[in-house]
Amino acid sequence: MSEARAYASASPTTPLAPRRISRREPGPLDVAIDIAYCGICHSDIHTVRGEWGPGAYPIVPGHEIVGRVSRVGKRVKKFKIGDLAGVGCMVDSCRKCANCRRGMEQHCLGRLSFTYNAVEQDGVTRTQGGYSSHIVVDEAFTLKVKSGQPLERVAPLLCAGITTYSPLKRHGVKKGTRVGVLGLGGLGHMAVKLAAAMGATVTALSGSESKRPDAKKLGASSFALTKDPAVMAALAGTLDLIIDTVSGDHDVNSMVGLLTTGGTLVMVGASPRPHAVGSFPLIFGRRAIEGSLIGGIKETQEMLDFCAKKKVFADVEVIAAKDINAAYERVLKSDVRYRFSIDCSTL
């Protein structure tokens, strides 16, 4: 066992605070990673505040992890000491079920070990995430990160990147596809960048007028203020695909109305409360609403390689660990441009 410095939540209502946690000794197939940066995902906030259901405290959040390999188990093949490595939302899965065998570990039908607030495959050990100095993960769930990239901007790809890349790929987004991205936060700004890198014509749909000047810089061809009824009316029936990244209550029906006939709205934002959805805009436009959960390990590697090649990185504000609680408040106010990345050397 080794001791890691971490930031943990002790209850849904208390601020995160420094805490020591233990990590296992690397087994034959494990790599130990000294964490350089960890992104702050809105899911971290939903989880520690108990918005999706009760958590098992203490919880060390963080699933956008990048760092350097410090130790490797005897049988590790993919990594050597000193390599860069990434860890996303999962640290293990059953590896036997039909979904795991198809590279869809995120939909494991057995036990899925999320990176935090979950249990390892032993069914006992609680997983603890990336707001920490180091982590030990099986090499099968550890991603290769190319050198020469800004690591603080690579970290958010491990969740925000793959969560938006996966549905864009699945829907065959290419030159000429008209993609709408609802919510310009951590996921949304990555969706804009990735869809643009795939050649799509992107409309940024946002409730924040202050983000208008950024839309073009991110790669969108236009910005639409969702609060403006005239703007929404002009967009009706024009989008092939919408990636909805909103974290809370919002009017999904007005977004469905923006889709073309046969268009799809992909729900990645995980609002704790259910949405009211009208049947008519779906039926008459043969439109669909579907969900999407991160992506599998192979696809996550593909996304990291795509981003390295296209030089697509998150826009980040690097913070020290002591500023995590203040950063949470700013995320809740949609006041982040566009992801906080924790410098884990400050833990």
Closer to Zn ion at the Cβ: 239 or 303? 303
**Which of 35, 41, 136, 205: binder of Zn ion (CB under 5 A)?**
41
Nearest distance from residue 3's CB to ligand NAP, in Å?
A: 29
Nearest one of 42, 58, 87 to 189, comparing CA atoms = 42
Sign of CA dihedral 274, 280, 286, 287: negative
User: Residue 270, interface with Zn ion (CB under 5 A)?
Assistant: no
Beta pairing partners, 144? 85
Q: Which does 94 bind (CB under 5 to 8 A by kind): Zn ion, ligand NAP, none?
A: Zn ion
Q: Which does 35 bind (CB under 5 to 8 A by kind): ligand NAP, Zn ion, none?
A: none
DSSP state of 152: H
| CA–CA distance, 132 with 226 (Å, rounded to integer) | 38
Q: Which does 108 bind (CB under 5 to 8 A by kind): ligand NAP, Zn ion, none?
A: Zn ion
Of residues 84 through 123, those in contact with Zn ion by CB under 5 A are 93-94, 97, 100, 108, 110
Contact window for Zn ion (CB under 5 A) among 113-121, 156-164, 175-183, 239-247: 156-164
At residue 241, φ and ψ (nearest 5 deg) are -150, 135
Nearest distance from residue 39's CB to ligand NAP, in Å?
A: 8
User: Residue 43, interface with Zn ion (CB under 5 A)?
Assistant: yes
Q: What is the DSSP string of 100-128?
A: HHTT-GGG-SS--EESSSSB-TTSSSBP-
| CA–CA distance, 181 with 193 (Å, rounded to integer) | 10
Closest residue to ligand NAP, judged by C-beta, is 185
Closest residue to Zn ion, judged by C-beta, is 41
Closer to Zn ion at the Cβ: 52 or 280? 52
State both tokens at 198.
């795939």
Nearest distance from residue 318's CB to ligand NAP, in Å?
A: 16
Nearest one of 97, 67, 93 to 158, comparing CA atoms = 67
Instruction: Give the binding site for Zn ion (CB under 5 A).
Output: 41, 43, 93-94, 97, 100, 108, 110, 159
